[in-house]
Amino acid sequence: MTRPTEHEVLAAVLQIRADSLQVLAWQRALPPDSGRWALPGGRLGDDEDVERSVRRQLAEKVDVREVTHVEQISVFSHPDRVPGPRLIATAFLGLVPSDSDPAVPADTAWHPLTALPPTAFDHAAIVEAAHDRLRAKLSYTNLGFALAPREFTISALRDLYAAALGHPVSATNLQRVLTRRGLLEPTGEVSPPGPAGGRPAALFRFTDRTLRVTDAFAVLRPPSEQLRGAVP
């Protein structure tokens, strides 16, 4: 007998929080996989396409209304990915800027990708796919705009890239490469002085806050794997 097939949308929503890349998840209260942490999402509506559905799910379930960027990453369709009726998942990457602190329900929390709690079903694989997509897009697009505040210092931007990529990044080389690609411009302002004083740092912004490819063959690599044209 053929199993009925249903369709859901899921979002791996990522944000740099406390200097680490974190993902939003909610704790399941009922079986299957009760007590485990799941990505926000739900069933695809009859009158929805998948992107409209995932944006609705985020707004309704976790109050993430100002997601800077959303893109489809993959379809997860293994016949046994969940028990019961066959359930196909269209998975999305969502990004929230580091200066945002969206309200979330009591059963929902942010978790560092380096210390994920037990996840429901195949959601850990979806998180990994989202992280891989983010790292790739940071190399050859201007997607850094979706992680950063509207204005930032170069050192703060360096820290965001390092947290997202998972390896150290040179602030000087990052500024050089992004400026060469026409992605950064100075605001003409400086940051407030820190508690230790010192010279205020110049503030920058991205020249474009819509996604575009800037260098199709670039790869951001760790310092030990530097290649010509890469950001160490």
- The whole-model pTM stands at 0.91
Burial call 7-17: b when 16+ CB within 10 Å, e when fewer:
bbbbbbbbbbb
* 122 and 150 assigned to the same domain: no
Q: Is the pLDDT of residue 228 over 70?
A: no
Q: pLDDT category, 23, cuts 50, 70, 90?
A: very high
Q: Is the pLDDT of residue 227 over 50?
A: no
Preceding peptide of 32 cis, ω within 30° = yes
Domains of the chain: total: 2
Mean pLDDT of the 34-56 span: 95
Residue 232 within any structural domain of the chain:
no
Single residue among 137, 154, 187 that ends a domain in this structure: 137
* 164 and 67 assigned to the same domain: no
Strand 20-27 versus strand 37-38 pairing type: antiparallel
- Quick count: other Cβ atoms within 10 Å of Cβ 221? 15
* 26 and 112 assigned to the same domain: yes
Single residue among 121, 137, 153 that ends a domain in this structure: 137
Q: Is the pLDDT of residue 230 over 90?
A: no
pLDDT at residue number 2:
64
* 54 and 67 assigned to the same domain: yes
CATH of the domain at 146: 1.10.10.10
pLDDT at residue number 152:
97
Q: Give the span between the Cα atoms of 15 and 111, in whole angstroms.
A: 10
Contact assessment for residue 122 and residue 81, using Cβ atoms and an 8 Å cutoff: yes
Task: Indicate the DSSP class of residue 183.
Answer: -
Residue 230 within any structural domain of the chain:
no
Lowest-confidence pick of 23-32, 89-98, 213-222: 213-222
Q: Is the pLDDT of residue 155 over 60?
A: yes
* 73 and 182 assigned to the same domain: no
Q: pLDDT category, 60, cuts 50, 70, 90?
A: confident
Mean pLDDT of the 123-132 span: 98
Per-chain mean pLDDT for the chain: 91
Share of the chain above pLDDT 90, in %: 79
Q: pLDDT category, 212, cuts 50, 70, 90?
A: very high
Q: pLDDT category, 216, cuts 50, 70, 90?
A: confident
Q: Give the span between the Cα atoms of 85 and 174, in whole angstroms.
A: 48
Mean pLDDT of the 209-216 span: 90
Q: Which two tokens stand for residue 23?
A: 């993902």
* 162 and 112 assigned to the same domain: no
Single residue among 109, 137, 165 that ends a domain in this structure: 137
* 132 and 147 assigned to the same domain: no
* 153 and 110 assigned to the same domain: no
Provide the domain limits for residue 190: 141-225
Q: In DSSP terms, which residues pair with 70 in a beta bridge?
A: 94
pLDDT at residue number 223:
63
pLDDT at residue number 66:
78
pLDDT at residue number 220:
77
* 13 and 89 assigned to the same domain: yes
* 118 and 147 assigned to the same domain: no
pLDDT at residue number 119:
98
* 62 and 175 assigned to the same domain: no
